[in-house]
A and B are shown apart, each in its own frame.
Chain A
Amino acid sequence: MSTAADLSHDKLEQRSFPARLWSWRYIVLRRLVQLGILMLFFGTAHWAWEYPAKTPLLTGNLSASEFIGMVPMADPFATLQIFLTGHVLQGKVILGSAIVLGFYLLLGGRVFCAWVCPVNMVTDLAGWLRARLPIPAMFHVNRNIRYFVLAASLVLSALTGLAAFEWVSPVGMMHREIIFGFGAGIMALAAIFLFDLLILKNGWCGHLCPLGAFWSLVGRTAQVRVRYDKDSCTHCGECAKVCPEPQVLNLKHLERTGVVDSGECSNCGRCTPLCPEGSLAFDLRLLIRKPGADKSVSARRTK
């Protein structure tokens, strides 16, 4: 006898080709955004892109940048590390950090990871390959170790007087080297690729990266989130199979909250188009009703 979950699996198998293509919309969008941002930096650095005239379009890189000569942006985690070295920060980098922080507070901290960070393209490729190759798990590592790495980068920044993660960050290396010229950073990326492919599944982004940990903490209050509808869900588990952070899709937890509220969710949009029942979808948190709340009077919506 086939269960509801089996029927969901079948639905997924029987999708038409256009439906399959359409289910890739977020991954295509993410690549466009990631490459587009890189392109803006690269074009400004190498082809002197300007807007308005005589003003560089987007200078710098993901550590700190300036858009159309007016909007400063800065990596709040890097700024925090520099602050801890004892350097007196300038207004521009503080304002830039506040702008970026505000943006991700609303959109979801790890939106940076899935939509902006260039290393994501490397680790996604490793993850995609790994899912198709018979590579057994070597060992299990607690995903919370990233928060210890985060704490360590802050402590070491204070102790060494140097922004500890910025000096070894593969994220920084990759972005810098694409924009400003290649060096041995490419080796660091190769190491991450092999680590993710052969040693630990989702090893870098999902276990170690302190920048991801930082954005996970920021993302807890995010307003753009994946809504969960427990009535239509058949517990087929397809979402958790494609999710790089499957612990955020703990269905028991989701049944209570009605929303993927973990900061570790990167809003990557793998699960939402895949869900055969449409139980997962992007929504604004303010509009998401808590399960069990009276459907005619949504406490939040009518406030």
Chain B
Amino acid sequence: MAELNVARREFLVKAAQGTSLAVTGGLLWAYLVRQEAKAQPYALRPPGALAEKDFNAACIKCGECVNVCPPDILKLAPAGGDLPIGTPFFTPRIGACVMCPDIPCVKACPTGALSPQLTDINQAHMGLAVIDIENCLSWKGLRCEICHRDCPLKGKAITLETDPRGLSKHAVFRPIVNSDYCTGCGICEKACPTAEPAIRILPHALVQGKIGEHYRLGWTFDTEITQDFKPSDKAPETPPEPSGKPAGVDYLNEGGL
């Protein structure tokens, strides 16, 4: 009986030792992996990449997308770097996505971490171009607009807004990014002539706000009207009565705005 107890005690101690080793090791391992995965949120992924969390789960770190990329801009993050280990990324200032129409990187991906649902490269959302209006030459009033000219979706993803430039006769041509269309290819960032790019690509989550569903913009046509007024069938088209003043003085009432 006594022997049995000793054997049982030994077994229990062994079991406790084994369990604590497994739990400690497991916790440490899990911590390492999770730290690595959230290394930093600035990774720009190839087109079609799933949301960062799903992407990190699905990517098998094979580099097939890197191999097939025609402009060879993709890299696999090395160990010990800022980005999640082994996953593909690109740095627009060094090499921007050229938006191949056949999207070879997505086709090469074996796991679907780059989603095959992306069939039109213009629908890609790798990131969002953001303009530093304090350092943008165009916003300063110089005629640059290189980002607009080089944008593969110019007129949609980047539009120019003109504005009188103070006392000068010339206008300011201000580039504006439209997030609905911007694919985040980074051609603008690569092309930007300033010492540090005044337009750069950032992951959406870092820059984009969200209005919230409880706000209703009653004056837009696609907003559901819940109040008890209805818009007239068509907007009034009759031009306002001429005010008799010189053109431009009463511009608020002249229409065209």
Q: Give the B-binding residues of A (Cβ under 8 A).
A: 44-45, 56, 59-61, 63-66, 72, 74-75, 78-79, 82, 85-90, 92-93, 96, 148, 152, 155-156, 159-164, 166-168, 172-173, 176-177, 179-185, 187-188
Contacts and interface: CB of A to CB of B under 8 A. Distances in A.
If over half of A's interface residues share one DSSP class (helix, strand or loop), that class is named, otherwise mixed; here it is mixed
Contact of B60 (A79, A160, A168): A79
Interface in B53-83: 53-54, 56-58, 60-64, 66-68, 75-81
Interface of B: 22, 25-26, 29-30, 32-34, 36-37, 53-54, 56-58, 60-64, 66-68, 75-81, 84-86, 108-113, 116
B76 to A, nearest CB: 4
B56 A162 contact: yes
7 contacts: A45-B67, A85-B58, A90-B109, A164-B29, A167-B84, A177-B78, A177-B79
Contact of B36 (A75, A87, A167): A167
Most A C-beta atoms less than 10 A away, residue of B37, B84, B86:
B86
A173 B85 contact: yes
A156 B77 CA distance: 22
Contacts of A182: 78
B205 to A, nearest CB: 18
B80 A184 contact: yes
Given A177-B78, A184-B81, 5 more contacts: A79-B60, A160-B30, A172-B61, A177-B79, A183-B81
A61 B108 CA distance: 13
Contacts, number: 146
Contact of A162 (B26, B33, B67): B33
A176 B32 contact: no
Contacts of A61: 61-63
Given A60-B64, A65-B64, A89 B79 contact: no
Contact of A59 (B29, B34, B67, B81): B67
Contacts of B78: 176-177, 180-185
A90 to B, nearest CB: 4
A75 B67 CA distance: 18
B61 A176 contact: yes
B30 A65 contact: no
Nearest to B31: A160
Contact of A159 (B25, B30, B61, B109): B30
A155 B58 CA distance: 16
Shortest beta-carbon contacts, A-B, top 10: A183-B78, A184-B80, A64-B62, A59-B67, A90-B112, A60-B62, A185-B79, A85-B57, A93-B110, A60-B64
B182 to A, nearest CB: 27
A87 B56 CA distance: 10
Given A159-B30, A162-B34, A164-B30, A183 B60 contact: no
Contacts of B63: 45, 59-61, 176, 179-180
